[in-house]
Amino acid sequence: MAHEDKIPRIADVSVASILKSEAVLTFFQPIVSLRRKSLFGVEALSRGLIGDSGEAIPPALLFQLAEDKADLANLDRLCRRKALEAFAPMHALSRELFLCLNVEPTTLDWGLVGSGTLSDVAQRLGVDPANVVLELDESRIADPSILTRFADSCRAAGFLLGLDGAGGPHSGLERIAELRPDIIKIDRRLVSGVHSATHKQDVVRGLIATADRIGALPVAVGVETEEEVILLLELGVEVFQGFYFARPYPSGSKRPDVSTAIEAVAAHFKGHVLRRINASKEQHKIYAFVIDQVQEALARATLPELDAALAGILDMHPGLQCAYVLNESGLQISDTVSNPLLKRGVRRLLHQPIRKGTDHSLKEYYLSIKAGLPRYITDPGISQTTGLPRRTICAAYQDASGRQRILCLDISEPE
């Protein structure tokens, strides 16, 4: 039988009793930096304790016990104070470690955050606010002005601002860019299975690009597999939190060793990148071979023979999706000749061959060739002609009349 976590008996537990006895235990979950190959910091996770049994109440249940605003605010403050007290000895030993502290979003509406209480506690404990990240889920706050005031009060007190749940269902890039947080935590629902979900990878790329523009640090939360870590490393994430590296542990107990997992994934990532680079080198050799063959065939073709020559080339190279030729000005002088063996999807009516006479002069591939590059290869994408994954390869050549032409080939990419 699979193990099931016991649900604590909280019927007779009240927030008042927890507050009176300060029956809150802080757990820490390690956050690691793979770039530094070291511990980056910890996130504080509070658990309520039930009487003499010491049975733990998970955070979600703990905060549900609060019956009014005052209880919720006082419980939130108690959890943060206990977390700071537990972190202070770690901070004294290593001034480079960061503490991520969750802020209950609903308390922001009541003006209960920013009163200076947290600053006073940090000062009393000798914890530098610059090592403390006040973290909240911005999607749970409807009024953007409340978030702005909170962000301003954070920075005025010297704390860092972290946004949790970035890329989640109700999170927006615009709000992230406006708030300019110091840390962006990528939603665990986005992280889970990201290595096999291209749509999730696209969202992560957008978050990383936003983080780069505003100078924020992206952190992947909830990583559980090496495949997730390696893919996110490729995308540009360097800081991670999740069960793959360590589970939360009670403050005061021995911290889990994260060095083994860090070294293992770092070694595997290096091997993965080297294999990818070698595969890319081999793939580019194939691209060069195909281009040379096609250029040689087209160099003998006159303008009236161009479409027939392209059709013959596609017959010889089944990996090609389509081909067309531009003149020096970027105008398409051939039809877009497509591989007749390709199976096109249900959106085939949206993807039609580019017509003869189309102006490509503003396209990056054309401008790159005009700037003097002998060849240009695009990133993978979906062909507007076939609707299938492809790369477009462009190269300059001279036709039978000595005129400069630009060859464009769409080569199939694995899905």
pLDDT in tens, 216-250: 999 999 999 999 999 999 999 999 999 999 999 99
CB 5 within 8 A of CB 210: no
Sheet strands (E) in 16-108 = 24-33, 38-50, 55-57, 98-102
Q: State what percent of residues in the chain have pLDDT above 90.
A: 59
Q: What is the pLDDT of residues 65-78, one digit of tens each?
A: 777 778 888 888 89
Q: What pLDDT sits at residue 57?
A: 83
Is residue 116 scored above 70 in pLDDT? no
Is residue 84 scored above 60 in pLDDT? yes
Domains of the chain by residue range:
15-249, 277-412
| Domain 277-412 superfamily per CATH | PAS domain (3.30.450.20)
Mean pLDDT of 315-321: 88
Q: What pLDDT sits at residue 322?
A: 92
Distance CA 221, CA 172 (A): 17
Q: Report the chain's mean pLDDT, rounded to a whole number.
A: 88
Distance CA 65, CA 46 (A): 14
Q: Of 206, 197, 90, 178, whose CA–CA distance to 415 is shortest?
A: 197
Distance CA 198, CA 407 (A): 30
Q: What pLDDT sits at residue 1?
A: 38
Is residue 363 scored above 90 in pLDDT? yes
Structure tokens at 184: 């962006």
Q: Tell me the helices (H) and strands (E) count for the chain, helix number first.
A: 12, 16
Mean pLDDT of 189-213: 94
CA count, 13 A, side-chain hemisphere, 363? 20
Q: What pLDDT sits at residue 111?
A: 57
Q: What pLDDT sits at residue 4?
A: 43
Mean pLDDT of 301-321: 91
Query: Among 6-10, 155-159, 301-305, 323-327, which is the least confidently predicted range?
Result: 6-10
CA geometry: angle at 371 spanning 365 and 372, to 5°?
100
Q: What pLDDT sits at residue 59?
A: 76
Residue whose entry in the numeric block shows the structure tokens 């509070």:
46
Is residue 403 scored above 60 in pLDDT? yes
Q: Decide which of 3.40.640.10, 3.40.50.300, 3.20.20.450, 3.40.190.10 is the CATH code for 15-249.
A: 3.20.20.450
Q: Does the pTM of the predicted model rise above 0.85? A: no
> Which residues neighbour 169 within 8 Å (Cβ) at sequence distance 6 or greater?
139, 189
CB 73 within 8 A of CB 110: yes
Mean pLDDT of 39-48: 94
Dihedral of alpha carbons 234, 238, 241, 247, sign: positive
pLDDT band at residue 311 under the 50/70/90 scheme? very high
pLDDT band at residue 189 under the 50/70/90 scheme? very high
CB 344 within 8 A of CB 390: no
CB 387 within 8 A of CB 323: no
